[in-house]
Structure 1
Amino acid sequence: MREKFGVLICVWIMLLGNCLGRFVVEENSLKVTSPGSIKGVYECAIGNFGVPQYGGTLVGTVVYPKANQGACKIFDEFDISFKSKPGGLPTFLLVNRGDCFFTLKAWNAQKAGAAAVLVADNQDESLITMDTPEEKNASAKYLQNITIPSALISKSLGDSLKKAITFGEMVKISLDWTESLPHPDERVEYEFWTNSNDECGPKCDSQMEFVKNFKGAAQVLEQKGYTQFIPHYITWYCPEAFLFSEQCKSQCINHGRYCAPDPEQDFSKGYDGKDVVVQNLRQACFFKVANESRKPWLWWDYVTDFALRCPMKEKKYTKDCADKVIQSLGVDLTKIDKCIGDIEADEENPVLKAEQDAQIGKGSRGDVTILPTLVINNRQYRGKLDKGAVLKAICAGFQETTEPTICLSKDIETNECLENNGGCWEDKTANITACRDTFRGRVCECPIVNGVKFSGDGYTHCEASGALQCEFNNGGCWRETQEGKTYSACLDDHSHGCKCPPGFKGDGVNGCEDVDECKEKLACQCPGCKCKNTWGSYECSCCDGSLYMREHDMCINAGKNGKTEVSSGFIWAIILGLVVAGAVGYAIYKYRIRRYMDSEIRAIMAQYMPLDNQPSNIHHPDI
Structure 2
Amino acid sequence: MGSSRRSKAGIFLGFLLLNLIQLVLGRFVVEKNSLKVTSPDSIKGTYDSAIGNFGIPQYGGSMAGAVVYPKENQKGCKSFSDFGINYKPKPGAMPNFLLVDRGDCFFALKVWNAQNAGASAVLVADNLDEALITMDTPEEDVSSAAYLQNITIPSALIEKSFAEKLRKAISGGDMVNVNLDWREAVPHPDDRVEYELWTNSNDECGFKCDMLMNFVKDFKGAAQILEKGGYTQFTPHYITWYCPTAFTVSKQCKSQCINHGRYCAPDPEQDFTSGYEGKDVVIENLRQLCVFKVANETKKPWVWWDYVTDFQIRCPMKEKKYNKDCADQVIKSLGLDLKSIEKCMGDPNADSDNPVLKEEQDAQVGKGSRGDVTILPTVVVNNRQYRGKLEKGAVLKALCAGFEETTEPSVCLSTDVETNECLDNNGGCWRDKAANLTACKDTFRGRVCECPVVNGVQFKGDGYSSCVASGPGRCKINNGGCWQDTRDGRSFSACLDNEEGKCSCPPGFKGDGVKSCEDIDECKEKKACQCPECSCKNTWGSYECTCSGDLLYIRDHDTCISKRATEVKSAWAAVWVILIGLGMAGAGAYLVYKYRLRSYMDSEIRAIMAQYMPLDSQNEVPHHANDEHA
Q: Secondary structure at the match of 2:149?
A: helix
Within the candidate set 332, 335, 339, 1:334 is matched to 339
- The alignment yields a C-alpha RMSD, in angstroms, of 1.0
Deviation digits for residues 496-533 of structure 1 (CA, Å, limit 9, x no counterpart): xxxxxxxxxxxxxxxxxxxxxxxxxxxxxxxxxxxxxx
- Work out whether residues 183 and 399 of structure 1, in 8 Å CA contact, stay in contact via their aligned partners in 2: yes
Give, as a single letter, the amino acid of the residue that structure 2 aligns with 1:146: I
Within the candidate set 63, 66, 69, 1:58 is matched to 63
In structure 2, the partner of 1:14 is: 20
1:14: Cα distance to partner?
A: 1.8
- Work out whether residues 139 and 201 of structure 1, in 8 Å CA contact, stay in contact via their aligned partners in 2: no
Cα distance in 1 between the residues matched to 2:295 and 2:102: 47
In structure 1, the partner of 2:244 is: 239
Cα distance in 2 between the residues matched to 1:16 and 1:374: 20
In structure 2, the partner of 1:121 is: 126
Deviation digits for residues 366-400 of structure 1 (CA, Å, limit 9, x no counterpart): 00011001000000000000000000110010011
Superposed counterparts of 1:204-603, under 5 Å: 204-411=209-416
Within the candidate set 163, 175, 181, 1:158 is matched to 163
Give, as a single letter, the amino acid of the residue that structure 2 aligns with 1:302: Y
- Work out whether residues 40 and 174 of structure 2, in 8 Å CA contact, stay in contact via their aligned partners in 1: yes
1:188: Cα distance to partner?
A: 0.4
In structure 1, the partner of 2:172 is: 167
- Work out whether residues 310 and 321 of structure 1, in 8 Å CA contact, stay in contact via their aligned partners in 2: yes
In structure 1, the partner of 2:205 is: 200
Seen in structure 2, the aligned counterparts of structure 1 residues 167 and 120 have a Cα distance that, compared at 3 Å, is: same
1:140: Cα distance to partner?
A: 1.8
The unaligned stretches of length 5 or more in structure 1 are 413-623
Deviation digits for residues 516-567 of structure 1 (CA, Å, limit 9, x no counterpart): xxxxxxxxxxxxxxxxxxxxxxxxxxxxxxxxxxxxxxxxxxxxxxxxxxxx
Cα distance in 1 between the residues matched to 2:402 and 2:140: 33
The unaligned stretches of length 5 or more in structure 2 are 1-6, 418-630
Cα distance in 1 between the residues matched to 2:357 and 2:308: 18
Give, as a single letter, the amino acid of the residue that structure 2 aligns with 1:301: D
Superposed counterparts of 1:136-147, under 5 Å: 136-137=141-142, 139-147=144-152
Cα distance in 2 between the residues matched to 1:93 and 1:24: 26
Deviation digits for residues 261-311 of structure 1 (CA, Å, limit 9, x no counterpart): 000111011101000000000000000000000000000000000000000
1:3: Cα distance to partner?
A: 1.3
Give, as a single letter, the amino acid of the residue that structure 2 aligns with 1:217: A
Give, as a single letter, the amino acid of the residue that structure 2 aligns with 1:363: G
Cα distance in 2 between the residues matched to 1:367 and 1:137: 30
TM-score for the superposition, normalised by structure 1: 0.65
In structure 1, the partner of 2:586 is: none
- Work out whether residues 15 and 243 of structure 2, in 8 Å CA contact, stay in contact via their aligned partners in 1: no
1:16: Cα distance to partner?
A: 4.1
Cα distance in 2 between the residues matched to 1:209 and 1:366: 26
Q: Secondary structure at the match of 1:128?
A: coil
Seen in structure 2, the aligned counterparts of structure 1 residues 109 and 87 have a Cα distance that, compared at 3 Å, is: same
- Work out whether residues 16 and 369 of structure 1, in 8 Å CA contact, stay in contact via their aligned partners in 2: no
Within the candidate set 95, 111, 116, 2:116 is matched to 111
Give, as a single letter, the amino acid of the residue that structure 2 aligns with 1:408: L
Cα distance in 1 between the residues matched to 2:308 and 2:74: 44
1:10: Cα distance to partner?
A: 1.0
1:5: Cα distance to partner?
A: 2.7
Structure 1, 1-10 or 126-135: larger mean CA deviation: 1-10
- Work out whether residues 238 and 252 of structure 1, in 8 Å CA contact, stay in contact via their aligned partners in 2: yes
Cα distance in 2 between the residues matched to 1:99 and 1:244: 43
Residue 3 in structure 1 maps to residue 9 in structure 2: yes
Give, as a single letter, the amino acid of the residue that structure 2 aligns with 1:85: K
- Work out whether residues 251 and 259 of structure 1, in 8 Å CA contact, stay in contact via their aligned partners in 2: yes
Seen in structure 2, the aligned counterparts of structure 1 residues 355 and 308 have a Cα distance that, compared at 3 Å, is: same
Seen in structure 2, the aligned counterparts of structure 1 residues 22 and 178 have a Cα distance that, compared at 3 Å, is: same
Give identity over the alignment, percent.
Answer: 72
- Work out whether residues 33 and 172 of structure 1, in 8 Å CA contact, stay in contact via their aligned partners in 2: yes
1:410: Cα distance to partner?
A: 2.3
Give, as a single letter, the amino acid of the residue that structure 1 aligns with 2:328: D
Within the candidate set 98, 101, 109, 1:96 is matched to 101
Q: Secondary structure at the match of 1:140?
A: helix
Cα distance in 1 between the residues matched to 2:362 and 2:226: 27
- Work out whether residues 388 and 411 of structure 1, in 8 Å CA contact, stay in contact via their aligned partners in 2: no
Cα distance in 2 between the residues matched to 1:232 and 1:16: 18
Cα distance in 2 between the residues matched to 1:4 and 1:312: 28
- Work out whether residues 251 and 273 of structure 1, in 8 Å CA contact, stay in contact via their aligned partners in 2: yes
- Work out whether residues 251 and 260 of structure 1, in 8 Å CA contact, stay in contact via their aligned partners in 2: yes
Find runs of 4+ consecutive structure 1 residues off by over 2 angstroms.
135-139
1:193: Cα distance to partner?
A: 0.3
1:231: Cα distance to partner?
A: 0.2
Residue 72 in structure 1 maps to residue 85 in structure 2: no
TM-score for the superposition, normalised by structure 2: 0.65
1:135: Cα distance to partner?
A: 4.9
- Work out whether residues 315 and 327 of structure 2, in 8 Å CA contact, stay in contact via their aligned partners in 1: yes
Give, as a single letter, the amino acid of the residue that structure 1 aligns with 2:337: D
Cα distance in 1 between the residues matched to 2:129 and 2:141: 30
Q: Secondary structure at the match of 2:25?
A: coil
In structure 1, the partner of 2:135 is: 130
Deviation digits for residues 207-237 of structure 1 (CA, Å, limit 9, x no counterpart): 0000000000000000010000000000000
Cα distance in 1 between the residues matched to 2:117 and 2:18: 40
Cα distance in 2 between the residues matched to 1:250 and 1:295: 35
Cα distance in 2 between the residues matched to 1:89 and 1:13: 45
Give, as a single letter, the amino acid of the residue that structure 1 aligns with 2:289: A
Q: Secondary structure at the match of 2:190?
A: coil
1:260: Cα distance to partner?
A: 0.3
Give, as a single letter, the amino acid of the residue that structure 2 aligns with 1:277: V
1:11: Cα distance to partner?
A: 2.5
Within the candidate set 182, 186, 192, 1:187 is matched to 192
Give, as a single letter, the amino acid of the residue that structure 2 aligns with 1:298: V
Give, as a single letter, the amino acid of the residue that structure 2 aligns with 1:3: A
Cα distance in 2 between the residues matched to 1:9 and 1:76: 44
Cα distance in 2 between the residues matched to 1:306 and 1:4: 34
Give, as a single letter, the amino acid of the residue that structure 2 aligns with 1:10: L
In structure 1, the partner of 2:44 is: 39
